[in-house]
Every structure is written in C-alpha cells, then in structure tokens.
Amino acid sequence: MEAGGIVEKAIREAYCFFVMLQSLGMKKTVPLVIGNWKLNPVTLVDASLLASAIARKQKTVAAPIVVIAPPFPYLAEVGKKIKKSAVILAAQDVYTEVIGPFTGEVSILQLKDLGAEYIIVGHSERRALGETDDLVCQKVQTVLKHQLTPVVCIGERARDEHGDFFTFIENQLRSLAEVLPAVAIKKIVIAYEPIWAIGTGKTATVEDVKEMQLFIETVLTKLYDRATAKMVPVLYGGSVKPDNAASLHKEGDMGGFLVGGASLKADDFAAIIKAVS
Ligand code: PEP
C-alpha cells in the first residue's frame, strides 16, 4: 500500500474509533466543529484552495472531529481535497425524496455517493425560506434512513424577558420527538443556533449557552429518558470566532460548534478548532 493509502486508512480507523466511542455512550466527550460555508465562495478555484488549506491544518485525527459543508456544486472537488486529511465532508441541506421529478433538489443518495457523512438540516436560513418543522423532521428521517448523521438546527428568533423562547425551543424538540424513537434521536446532532446571533457578531454569552445546553437536555429527558438525552450532542452556532471559542467551549458545556463566517478563513477556523482541542 502506498504512503497516502496508509495515512488514509489510519485516519478512517481513528474516525471509526470515535464513532464507536460515541455509540458506547461517550458521544458528548468527542467534540465536533462544523464549518458551514453557506453560499461561499463563488468559484471552484477558491473553494478548492479553502478546502486544501483546512485539510493541511487537519492532517491527523485528534478531537475535535472537523467537518466542512461547502455548497452542493463543490462537494465532489472539496471531497477530493480533504480525502487524505482528517476533515469530513458534509452537505448544507437535502431533499426528502431520493430520485425522480424534483427539479432543483438534491438527493441523499447523491450526497452519500459524493462522500458526505453529515447533513445540516433546518438551518434558520432554510427555515426563513419556508421550511417548516414538519419538513425538517422528514429530512431528518431521510438522512437517518440512509445511515448519515443529521445536524438539526434549532434556535429562537429573539429572546424575550418572560422566557417564551424556551417554549419555542421545546416545541422544536417536541416535533422531532414525535417522529424519532430513542434509538433514532441518539444518532442526530443538535445545533442550537439563536437566529439573533447568526452572522450578527452578537454571540450568546457563556451563561446563555450553558443554560440552553441544560434546558435541551432536560427537555430530551422529559421526552425520552436521561440516558438518551445525554447521548445527543448539542453544538452552539452564532458568531463563533477565534476570540470567543475557547471560553464558549470551556464554560459553555456544549458539544462543539457550528461555524459560519469564521469557517471561510482557514486560519480562523483552525484557531476555533484549536480552542476546542
Ligand atoms: C451559521 O450559519 O450556522 C452560523 C453560525 O453563522 P455565523 O457563525 O456566521 O454566525
């Protein structure tokens, strides 16, 4: 076997080991950092350069698990660029149907074929375009059915002084629980992304993040049981930057981050990964 092949095999084995730890109930001990590139960049050349730069900095598998979600047209090329690194490929959305007359949609089979392992579902920017809890749940079921990991985004538009936003979050979790048995909810990742913090520079405080982590765990305990609730990793997303990542991670008690803007600069993304290491 050539050197590249050996490295690739070692990376894959180490990743499988992480996944095994997760299935043994240690899911929250392996943090996850996901870069959501959104509608960036606008050329394949720039996407390749960014993927290569991230891959170069992430050669070996050490916690956290690092994932990048480029736009659909770049998945194949980005997949090639990160192949020999520890970086894992993700997609930003998926359709509920797998094949047929659905113009403009993207199938889970196509994403799987391109090597995507995580699929972001229900991002607030998709919900703003009309995606409902019901559709989000259908997408989550589609992803799970094909043995990939959905990263389900939840989060309130604004915070009110009476704390009604907690009910909003609880309802988002309830809609998931209506369709997912315990065995399925354990296979998802939740990304708590308060909409007011996304792309605004207004990061949630460590206290906000800690409180929400606890709240989500409490709701999941109510809807399932404590052991199940403890198995579901909860990421934080919303203006995570190199200078706030360490305190959010250390004191916020989250399972990692979903990063938008800062994932478009390889150095910033690497600094966030380092803060979680
Ligand atoms: C996101 O879009 O998921 C996100 C968290 O964006 P940003 O980090 O730019 O706030």
The CATH number that applies at residue 263 is 3.20.20.70
Mutate to test the pocket of ligand 1, among 32, 34, 36 (most ligand atoms within 8 A of CB): 36
Please check whether residue 265 lies inside any domain of the structure. Answer: yes
Which pair of structure tokens corresponds to residue 248? 């959010």
Residue 163, amino acid: G
H-run or E-run covering 192:
strand 189-192
Please check whether residue 119 lies inside any domain of the structure. Answer: yes
Q: What's the CA dihedral at 165, 170, 176, 181 to 10 degrees?
A: 160
Please check whether residue 22 lies inside any domain of the structure. Answer: no
**What's residue 13's pLDDT?**
54
Residue 162, amino acid: H
The residue whose C-alpha atom lies closest to atom 7 belonging to ligand 1 is 260
Residue 135 has pLDDT above 80, yes or no: yes
19 vs 111, residue with greater confidence: 111
- Nearest atom within ligand 1 for CA of residue 259: 8
Give 38 Cα–ligand 1 centroid separation in angstroms.
Answer: 9
Q: What is the pTM of this model?
A: 0.91
Mutate to test the pocket of ligand 1, among 33, 93, 240 (most ligand atoms within 8 A of CB): 240
245 touches 257 (CB < 8 A): yes
Residue 10 has pLDDT above 80, yes or no: no
What HEC string does 232-256 produce? CCEEEECCCCHHHHHHHHHHHCCCE
- Nearest atom within ligand 1 for CA of residue 200: 10
The verdict on the CB of residue 175 being under 6 Å from ligand 1 is: no
Report which DSSP code applies to 42.
S
The residue whose C-alpha atom lies closest to atom 1 belonging to ligand 1 is 260
Angle between helices 242-252 and 206-223 (to 10 degrees): 50
Report which DSSP code applies to 151.
E
Please check whether residue 244 lies inside any domain of the structure. Answer: yes
Give 111 Cα–ligand 1 centroid separation in angstroms.
Answer: 22
Give 238 Cα–ligand 1 centroid separation in angstroms.
Answer: 5
Residue 105, amino acid: E
The verdict on the CB of residue 252 being under 6 Å from ligand 1 is: no
Burial, 98: exposed, middle or buried (Cβ in 10 Å; 0-12, 13-18, 19+)? middle
Q: For the chain, what percent of residues have pLDDT higher than 70?
A: 89
- 149-154 and 32-36 beta bridge pairing: unpaired
Using CA atoms, how far apart are residues 259 and 68, in angstroms rounded to an integer? 9
Report which DSSP code applies to 103.
T
**Per-residue pLDDT averaged across 204-223, rounded?**
96
Q: What is the pLDDT of the chain when averaged over all its residues?
A: 91
**What's residue 162's pLDDT?**
87
Residue 164 has pLDDT above 80, yes or no: yes
Using CA atoms, how far apart are residues 229 and 214, in angstroms rounded to an integer? 10
Residue 29 has pLDDT above 80, yes or no: no
Give exposure, 235-256, as e/b (b: 16+ Cβ within 10 Å). bbbbbbbbebbeebbeebbbbb
Confidence band for 8, pLDDT divided at 50, 70 and 90: low
Please check whether residue 200 lies inside any domain of the structure. Answer: yes
Residue 89 has pLDDT above 80, yes or no: yes
196 touches 159 (CB < 8 A): yes
The verdict on the CB of residue 255 being under 6 Å from ligand 1 is: no
Using CA atoms, how far apart are residues 48 and 178, in angstroms rounded to an integer? 40
108 touches 142 (CB < 8 A): yes
**What's residue 9's pLDDT?**
53
Please check whether residue 24 lies inside any domain of the structure. Answer: no
193 catalytic residue (yes or no): yes
Please check whether residue 25 lies inside any domain of the structure. Answer: no
Please check whether residue 26 lies inside any domain of the structure. Answer: no
Which pair of structure tokens corresponds to residue 160? 């009110």
The verdict on the CB of residue 198 being under 6 Å from ligand 1 is: yes
Name the domain count of the chain. Answer: 1
Which pair of structure tokens corresponds to residue 218? 């409490």
Confidence band for 60, pLDDT divided at 50, 70 and 90: confident
Give 195 Cα–ligand 1 centroid separation in angstroms.
Answer: 9
| Structural domain span for residue 37 | 32-275
- Alpha carbon of 90 to those of 35, 78, 84, 230: distances in Å? 9, 10, 16, 24
Confidence band for 23, pLDDT divided at 50, 70 and 90: very low
Using CA atoms, how far apart are residues 238 and 124, in angstroms rounded to an integer? 11
